[in-house]
Amino acid sequence: MIHTKNKKKSLEATVDEMRDFSLAYIEKYAPSKQQLKTYLLKKYFNSKLLNISKKNITDLISVVLLDLEKNKFINDKFYSNSKAKSLLNRGSSINKIRNYLLSKGVNDQYIAQTIDQIKESNEDQDFFSAIKICKKKRIGPARTEDNRSIFYKKDISILARSGFDYETSKKVMDLNKDEYLKIIRLL
């Protein structure tokens, strides 16, 4: 009987400890729900301190995550919107944003809502993001006129690796220097 009480105390202590670790991690990194779950799983599966089964640990993590979500410490919808806004400011394409959010374990529903909001606010967001990439990496219309034809394929491939489709990349690459500078002033 004493053994079960000690086990129960260790479970309660584990939940409090897990909540403290979670809050510290949230404060430092502002993660998605899946990122936090992965962090806690790694932390507790690698620790040899407690004699608690792995199933109990996953159940405890689920309880802690539900509690944090209920108290609005973690919110994947907010995470999705804020990360998308941050990535847009850096010049990321919609495809790159979608893949980033998927890799962080955000729910497909929240990703779709975020992408729809981006498209509603600006129909040609990828075009402007590609312009930002050109400015940042000094490619395409940001190059001097003598070098543009020499580096055309290289610049198109840089835009493709950044997640832009061929039509958008070609549209940006075909801009002349004056149009490019006007758009840069607007951004």
pLDDT tens-digit readout, 145-155: 888 989 999 99
Cα-based distances in Å from 125 to 76, 87, 91: 23, 12, 9
Residue 7 pLDDT exceeds 70: no
What integer pLDDT is reported at residue 2 of this predicted model?
39
pLDDT in tens, 124-138: 999 999 999 999 999
Which residues make Cβ contacts (< 8 Å) with residue 129, sequence separation at least 6? Answer: 88, 91, 92, 93, 94, 164
Interval 72-96 mean pLDDT = 94
Distances (CA, A) of 167 to 24, 57, 71: 45, 49, 45
Residue 61 has phi, psi (to 5 degrees) of -65, -40
Residue 4: per-residue pLDDT: 43
Confidence of residue 6 (pLDDT cuts 50, 70, 90): very low
Average pLDDT of the residues of the chain: 88
Quickly count: other Cβ atoms within 10 Å of residue 63's Cβ: 13
Task: Give this prediction's pTM.
Answer: 0.83
**pLDDT 10s digits, 19-31:** 999 999 999 999 9
Give the pLDDT score at 80: 95
Q: What is the mean pLDDT of residues 86-92?
A: 93
Split at pLDDT 50, 70, 90, the class of 52 is confident
Among residues 74, 78, 126, 80, which one has the least CA distance to residue 101?
80
Q: What's the whole-number mean pLDDT along residues 106-130?
A: 93
